[in-house]
Amino acid sequence: MQVFGAHEFQIIALSLRVALVSMACSLPLAILVAYALARYDFPGKMLADAIVHLPLVLPPVVVGFALLVLFGRNGPIGSVLDQWFGIVFAFRWTGAALASAIMGFPLMVRAIRLSIETIDRRLEAAAATLGANAAWVFLTVTLPLALPGVIAGMILCFAKAMGEFGATITFVSNIPGETQTLPSLIYTFTQVPGGDAGALRLTLISIAVAWRVGRRLELE
Protein backbone atom coordinates (compact mmCIF):
# COMPACT_ATOMS: atom_id res chain seq x y z
CA MET A 1 0.00 0.00 0.00
CA GLN A 2 1.33 3.44 -0.96
CA VAL A 3 1.90 5.59 2.11
CA PHE A 4 1.93 8.98 0.37
CA GLY A 5 0.61 10.08 -2.99
CA ALA A 6 2.59 12.27 -5.38
CA HIS A 7 0.55 15.32 -4.40
CA GLU A 8 1.17 14.70 -0.69
CA PHE A 9 4.90 14.36 -1.31
CA GLN A 10 4.83 17.70 -3.10
CA ILE A 11 2.97 19.37 -0.24
CA ILE A 12 5.35 17.90 2.37
CA ALA A 13 8.41 18.98 0.37
CA LEU A 14 7.08 22.52 -0.03
CA SER A 15 6.15 22.77 3.65
CA LEU A 16 9.61 21.56 4.71
CA ARG A 17 11.29 23.98 2.32
CA VAL A 18 9.26 26.92 3.63
CA ALA A 19 9.92 25.96 7.27
CA LEU A 20 13.64 25.33 6.83
CA VAL A 21 14.25 28.51 4.79
CA SER A 22 12.31 30.64 7.27
CA MET A 23 14.25 29.13 10.17
CA ALA A 24 17.66 29.49 8.51
CA CYS A 25 17.04 33.08 7.42
CA SER A 26 15.76 34.09 10.86
CA LEU A 27 18.64 32.57 12.83
CA PRO A 28 21.48 35.11 12.32
CA LEU A 29 19.27 38.13 12.99
CA ALA A 30 17.58 36.40 15.93
CA ILE A 31 20.96 35.73 17.57
CA LEU A 32 22.03 39.37 17.17
CA VAL A 33 18.71 40.75 18.43
CA ALA A 34 18.64 38.33 21.37
CA TYR A 35 22.20 39.24 22.32
CA ALA A 36 21.46 42.97 22.14
CA LEU A 37 18.35 42.63 24.29
CA ALA A 38 20.11 40.39 26.81
CA ARG A 39 23.36 42.29 27.18
CA TYR A 40 22.76 45.99 26.47
CA ASP A 41 20.65 48.80 27.85
CA PHE A 42 19.88 51.42 25.22
CA PRO A 43 17.22 54.08 24.58
CA GLY A 44 14.08 52.48 23.20
CA LYS A 45 14.94 48.99 24.42
CA MET A 46 11.39 48.39 25.69
CA LEU A 47 9.99 49.55 22.35
CA ALA A 48 12.37 47.30 20.44
CA ASP A 49 11.40 44.37 22.66
CA ALA A 50 7.71 45.09 22.05
CA ILE A 51 8.20 45.28 18.28
CA VAL A 52 10.07 41.96 18.26
CA HIS A 53 7.20 40.26 20.11
CA LEU A 54 4.43 42.04 18.20
CA PRO A 55 3.67 39.07 15.88
CA LEU A 56 2.78 37.01 18.97
CA VAL A 57 -0.05 39.32 19.99
CA LEU A 58 -1.33 40.43 16.58
CA PRO A 59 -3.79 38.24 14.69
CA PRO A 60 -1.83 36.38 12.01
CA VAL A 61 -4.18 37.76 9.35
CA VAL A 62 -3.10 41.28 10.31
CA VAL A 63 0.55 40.33 9.86
CA GLY A 64 -0.26 38.79 6.48
CA PHE A 65 -2.17 41.86 5.35
CA ALA A 66 0.69 44.14 6.45
CA LEU A 67 3.12 42.01 4.44
CA LEU A 68 0.82 42.19 1.43
CA VAL A 69 0.68 45.98 1.66
CA LEU A 70 4.44 46.36 2.11
CA PHE A 71 5.79 43.53 -0.06
CA GLY A 72 3.09 43.31 -2.73
CA ARG A 73 4.07 44.25 -6.29
CA ASN A 74 2.68 47.75 -5.73
CA GLY A 75 3.88 48.07 -2.14
CA PRO A 76 6.68 50.44 -1.12
CA ILE A 77 9.14 47.58 -0.54
CA GLY A 78 7.78 45.00 -2.97
CA SER A 79 7.80 47.35 -5.95
CA VAL A 80 11.47 48.24 -5.38
CA LEU A 81 12.48 44.59 -4.97
CA ASP A 82 10.57 43.65 -8.12
CA GLN A 83 11.79 46.47 -10.36
CA TRP A 84 15.42 46.58 -9.23
CA PHE A 85 16.19 43.00 -8.24
CA GLY A 86 13.42 40.91 -9.77
CA ILE A 87 12.46 39.58 -6.33
CA VAL A 88 8.78 38.90 -5.73
CA PHE A 89 7.35 37.67 -2.43
CA ALA A 90 3.58 38.03 -2.86
CA PHE A 91 1.86 34.83 -4.00
CA ARG A 92 5.18 32.96 -4.11
CA TRP A 93 6.60 30.26 -1.83
CA THR A 94 9.28 32.72 -0.79
CA GLY A 95 6.50 34.92 0.57
CA ALA A 96 5.26 31.97 2.62
CA ALA A 97 8.78 31.61 4.03
CA LEU A 98 8.90 35.34 4.83
CA ALA A 99 5.53 35.24 6.60
CA SER A 100 6.52 32.13 8.56
CA ALA A 101 9.87 33.68 9.52
CA ILE A 102 8.19 36.78 10.90
CA MET A 103 5.67 34.76 12.89
CA GLY A 104 8.36 32.46 14.32
CA PHE A 105 10.99 35.16 14.92
CA PRO A 106 9.77 36.19 18.42
CA LEU A 107 9.86 32.58 19.61
CA MET A 108 13.41 32.14 18.39
CA VAL A 109 14.59 35.43 19.90
CA ARG A 110 13.02 34.68 23.26
CA ALA A 111 14.58 31.22 23.55
CA ILE A 112 18.04 32.51 22.63
CA ARG A 113 17.76 35.57 24.86
CA LEU A 114 16.82 33.51 27.89
CA SER A 115 19.77 31.21 27.25
CA ILE A 116 22.20 34.14 26.96
CA GLU A 117 20.88 35.73 30.16
CA THR A 118 21.74 32.58 32.14
CA ILE A 119 25.41 32.69 31.10
CA ASP A 120 27.81 33.76 33.85
CA ARG A 121 29.24 37.06 32.59
CA ARG A 122 32.43 36.39 34.52
CA LEU A 123 33.34 33.81 31.89
CA GLU A 124 33.07 36.46 29.20
CA ALA A 125 35.07 38.89 31.33
CA ALA A 126 37.79 36.28 31.85
CA ALA A 127 38.09 35.75 28.09
CA ALA A 128 38.31 39.51 27.59
CA THR A 129 41.13 39.83 30.14
CA LEU A 130 43.09 37.24 28.14
CA GLY A 131 43.04 39.56 25.14
CA ALA A 132 39.95 38.44 23.23
CA ASN A 133 37.96 41.20 21.61
CA ALA A 134 34.17 41.45 21.93
CA ALA A 135 33.46 39.55 18.71
CA TRP A 136 35.82 36.70 19.64
CA VAL A 137 34.34 36.46 23.13
CA PHE A 138 30.89 36.20 21.58
CA LEU A 139 31.92 33.50 19.10
CA THR A 140 34.02 31.38 21.45
CA VAL A 141 32.29 31.82 24.81
CA THR A 142 28.80 33.28 24.60
CA LEU A 143 27.48 31.50 21.52
CA PRO A 144 28.64 27.97 22.49
CA LEU A 145 27.18 28.35 25.97
CA ALA A 146 23.91 29.64 24.49
CA LEU A 147 23.70 26.72 22.04
CA PRO A 148 20.84 24.93 23.89
CA GLY A 149 18.74 28.07 23.58
CA VAL A 150 19.70 28.46 19.93
CA ILE A 151 18.60 24.90 19.18
CA ALA A 152 15.37 25.39 21.13
CA GLY A 153 14.70 28.58 19.19
CA MET A 154 15.31 26.82 15.89
CA ILE A 155 12.87 24.06 16.82
CA LEU A 156 10.22 26.55 17.90
CA CYS A 157 10.62 28.59 14.72
CA PHE A 158 10.48 25.48 12.55
CA ALA A 159 7.37 24.18 14.30
CA LYS A 160 5.69 27.57 13.99
CA ALA A 161 6.52 27.70 10.28
CA MET A 162 5.16 24.20 9.70
CA GLY A 163 1.86 25.19 11.30
CA GLU A 164 1.58 28.78 10.09
CA PHE A 165 -1.69 29.48 8.28
CA GLY A 166 -3.25 32.91 8.84
CA ALA A 167 -0.38 35.16 7.77
CA THR A 168 0.61 32.82 4.95
CA ILE A 169 -2.77 32.43 3.32
CA THR A 170 -3.41 36.19 3.54
CA PHE A 171 -0.06 37.11 2.00
CA VAL A 172 0.49 34.37 -0.60
CA SER A 173 -2.97 32.78 -0.90
CA ASN A 174 -3.47 29.01 -1.32
CA ILE A 175 -2.03 28.20 -4.73
CA PRO A 176 -1.47 24.48 -5.42
CA GLY A 177 2.12 23.74 -6.31
CA GLU A 178 3.33 27.19 -5.32
CA THR A 179 2.11 28.29 -1.88
CA GLN A 180 -0.16 25.47 -0.72
CA THR A 181 1.45 24.05 2.41
CA LEU A 182 0.14 21.39 4.78
CA PRO A 183 -2.03 23.78 6.87
CA SER A 184 -3.48 25.33 3.69
CA LEU A 185 -4.36 21.95 2.22
CA ILE A 186 -5.89 20.81 5.50
CA TYR A 187 -8.06 23.95 5.41
CA THR A 188 -9.02 23.15 1.81
CA PHE A 189 -10.09 19.63 2.79
CA THR A 190 -12.28 20.98 5.60
CA GLN A 191 -14.17 23.13 3.11
CA VAL A 192 -15.29 20.28 0.84
CA PRO A 193 -17.78 17.49 1.57
CA GLY A 194 -16.08 14.29 2.62
CA GLY A 195 -12.74 15.98 3.15
CA ASP A 196 -12.46 15.09 6.84
CA ALA A 197 -10.48 11.93 6.17
CA GLY A 198 -7.96 13.80 4.04
CA ALA A 199 -7.66 16.56 6.64
CA LEU A 200 -7.05 14.00 9.41
CA ARG A 201 -4.45 12.18 7.31
CA LEU A 202 -2.53 15.38 6.63
CA THR A 203 -2.78 16.41 10.29
CA LEU A 204 -1.10 13.16 11.32
CA ILE A 205 1.53 13.69 8.63
CA SER A 206 2.20 17.21 9.94
CA ILE A 207 2.67 15.92 13.48
CA ALA A 208 5.00 13.15 12.33
CA VAL A 209 7.12 15.44 10.14
CA ALA A 210 7.42 18.16 12.78
CA TRP A 211 8.34 15.63 15.47
CA ARG A 212 10.92 13.92 13.26
CA VAL A 213 12.68 17.11 12.20
CA GLY A 214 12.49 18.53 15.71
CA ARG A 215 14.13 15.41 17.14
CA ARG A 216 16.90 15.59 14.52
CA LEU A 217 17.62 19.24 15.35
CA GLU A 218 17.60 18.46 19.06
CA LEU A 219 20.03 15.58 18.66
CA GLU A 220 22.38 17.66 16.53
- 34 class by beta-carbon count within 10 Å (0-12 exposed, 13-18 middle, 19+ buried): buried
State mean pLDDT over 165-192. Answer: 88
Q: Residue 168: what pLDDT?
A: 93
Indicate if the pLDDT at residue 2 is higher than 50.
no
214 pLDDT tier (thresholds 50, 70, 90): low
Reported as a pLDDT band with limits 50, 70 and 90, residue 1 is very low
CA distance 107 to 207: 19
218 pLDDT band, cuts 50/70/90, is: low
Closest by alpha carbon to 96, among 169, 30, 195?
169
